Amino acid sequence: MELNKIWDAFTQCWQVKILASTFITCFTFFFGEINAPMIALGCLMIIDTVTKLMAISRNKLKELDIDASIITGYRLAFREKLINSRGMREGFYSKVLPYALMLILVNLVSKIIPEVSVFGHDVTKFPHGFISSFLAIIECKSVIENLIEMGAVKLKPLLCMLNKKTEEMTGGN
């Protein structure tokens, strides 16, 4: 019960309320409102991380020719430092940070561009939707690659289709 009293005192502190409201205000200014596409993109990134860890674990089991659970493979891969904090940091710097910067960029651009409505649709929201869609496709491709690496080879045609769609969106670059 003492923990509840500490939590209540902490949440009733005006300094904490100011700090929390400032953080939320800054977050929504830079990223925009927290909506379903943003939450979905975050979930896709988490699923990608989990499937990558599962693929590493499965590969470790396959390498040792052991028929055991993914958890056992995870422990073995962790012991051999195939899964470590350095790899997670590299993932943060190579994926999370660039994604966040792209979302901040398109949100700030949408704040600068004046609202223009074409056929009843707000054109200023197009860049944000395009970037979010593109990042979601990249995450889906990564999850499918991880699943194929785990042995779900029947997903290869789906990966080929997503690669074609990505090429269509980017013009082959």
- Looking at the domain assignment, is residue 154 inside a domain? yes
Q: Which residue has the higher pLDDT, 77 or 140?
A: 140
45/91 Cα distance (integer angstroms): 10
Q: Classify residue 148: in a domain, yes or no.
A: yes
* pLDDT: which is higher, 104 or 5: 104
Full domain range(s) for residue 96: 35-51+84-170
120 domain residue, yes or no: yes
Q: How many residues does the chain have?
A: 173
What pTM does this model have?
A: 0.76
Tell me how far apart the alpha carbons of residues 85 and 90 are, in angstroms, rounded to a whole number.
9
Residue 60 buriedness (CB in 10 A; 0-12 / 13-18 / 19+): buried
Instruction: Evaluate whether residue 159 is within a structural domain.
Output: yes
Residue 172 is predicted with a pLDDT of 67
Total number of domains in the chain: 1
pLDDT score, position 173 = 61
Tokens of 21: 């409201």
Band of residue 61 on the pLDDT scale cut at 50, 70, 90: confident
